[in-house]
Structure 1
Amino acid sequence: MSPPEFSDSVEALHRRFDPDQYDGIYVVGDVHGCIDELRTLWARLDPSADDLVLFVGDLVRKGPDSTAVVEFVHQRENAVSVRGNNEAKIIHERIDTDPFAGIEDAVASFPLVVTVGDAMVVHGGVDPTRPLRAHSPDDLLEMRSVPPSNGYDGPFWFQQYDGPRRICFGHTVLGSPFVSEHAVGLDTGCVYGGSLTAYDLRSGDVASVPAEATYQQRSSDKILDVSPE
């Protein structure tokens, strides 16, 4: 498969990996500062230096220790996170950045999109009615519903998307992982008392660890219970 034809603004923040260079490839859902759960999940995965661990973004905010999470990921040569909408808020100074002073450079280094073989990792998603080249950075960060929307009204892009690439994503909070032929949703609401989830891109296995606490409350109508049709 040829590389995707992203817009110039997206391509500038695109990072590619060759899957043949890694024994195992894992993708981890939204961490949101939940450092204890990340350490537990990492120990369960027990990745070697020959494995690649990708994160769908939103390492930061809402949970107990964003700095520790970003440092944990950034200091590991075999770990890479795409940026989420919460990283974008720091990068573009849409919020008070003082609490993130020690990690701003690391956050700014996150790509917007990662491709590894036929798979693609973004935070939000894609609009299945438009080619990749027609997507802006904000589309990839915030896509949930189609027509394009950041809301929870649906219909949801990942229930309509039919490839060709398989997209791993976060952003939309799910009661359990969404796994279909072409979309893998991994934000299982750890910061809201759910779980932190990883997906084995080769085997299709899912590993989750429960949240140690409910760090932030969330309305039940913004935690989706959906399954592939």
Structure 2
Amino acid sequence: MIVGGAGPSGTATQFGYTALYTIAYPTYKRLIRLRGIVRTVRVTTANTPSDDAVSFDHRHIDLENRDEVYVIGDVHGCLDALEALLGTLELGANDLAVFVGDLVRKGPESKAVLDRVRRSPRLLSVRGNNERKLLEGEASLSALDAVDYQYLESLPTAISWDGGLVVHGGLDPSRPLSGHSDDDVLTMRSPAGDGYDGPFWFDRYEGPPRVFFGHTVLAEPIEREWTVGLDTGCVYGGQLTAYDVRRGEAVSVTGTGHVERSSEKIVGADRE
């Protein structure tokens, strides 16, 4: 986050797009030029007395010039499932897919997954708790290099568009958007804690915006008026799921299964 007084201005090029930036406390705007299109990304700190103030790293995108838009669940290094899903979606030049984070760890091909997502202008991702673990030294992957870590550092905690918000974990229904930190939206399962005892935040959240999320492993996707849950346990032998935002439909492929997981840590469709 930005701290202190007025900041610098200039240009920077990274991961395929050029950012012309001006920074001022407590708000800043970043102009992103991507393939000739200039977009403005507004990030507001918690100290800004505006209704849309947020204290987590956030990127707003414009979907006006996009055709198909998808949100994809936790990949966890499962390149085979990712390639199968992307092959099913057949993304066109004006299509976009946004991942809910946890691209890495648990599965066998984290680096290849990062390479696949990073190199495509049609693929974006938010940061998940497993990306954060790598960045903070709580976990390590020897296959990753400096470019991989730079990419992980570049991932925002949230990506939004008009009416929609993609985060890894979720939101506390009892708090306004401005009352959430990066840690909250990365790890939220229940306001009572990051576990599977419940109550789950998505059972009580009433929007807006509509929130697309992962992190909580589900037996099948959750689709409600204000929440769409997409971690369907690909790395545990479940499915990798994409949600078609335009059509309101889920598309899934079956994962190989590289890690065992207790059924007590998978939210079933038959729960009360």
Q: TM-score range by the shorter chain?
A: over 0.9
Alignment of 1:126-137 (within 5 A): 126-137=171-182
Give the structure with the higher percent strand. Answer: 2
Check 1:228–1:113 CA distance in 2 against 1; reply closer, same or farther (3 A cut).
farther
Structure 1 length as normaliser, TM-score? 0.93
Shift of 1:145: 1.0
Alignment length (residue pairs) = 222
Alignment of 1:93-132 (within 5 A): 93-102=137-146, 103-132=148-177
AA of the residue aligned to 1:175: A
SS state at 2:131 partner? helix
Tell me if the contact between 1:179 and 1:228 (Cα under 8 Å) persists in the aligned partners.
no
Share of identical aligned residues, percent?
49
**Could you tell me which of 190, 212, 217 is aligned with 1:173?**
217
1:218 maps onto 2:266 in alignment? no
Shift of 1:99: 3.5
Gaps of 5+ in 1: none
Cα distance in structure 2, aligned partners of 1:53 and 1:67? 19
Cα distance in structure 2, aligned partners of 1:136 and 1:54? 21
Check 1:48–1:139 CA distance in 2 against 1; reply closer, same or farther (3 A cut).
same
Tell me the residue number matched to 1:201.
Answer: 245
Based on CA coordinates, which of the two structures has the bigger radius of gyration?
2
Cα distance in structure 1, aligned partners of 2:113 and 2:122? 15
Structure 2 length as normaliser, TM-score? 0.79
User: Which structure ranks higher in relative contact order (CA pairs < 8 Å, sequence separation ≥ 6)?
Assistant: 1
Moved over 3 A (4+): 226-229
Tell me the residue number matched to 2:132.
Answer: 88
RMSD: 1.6
SS state at 2:116 partner? helix
Check 1:111–1:128 CA distance in 2 against 1; reply closer, same or farther (3 A cut).
same
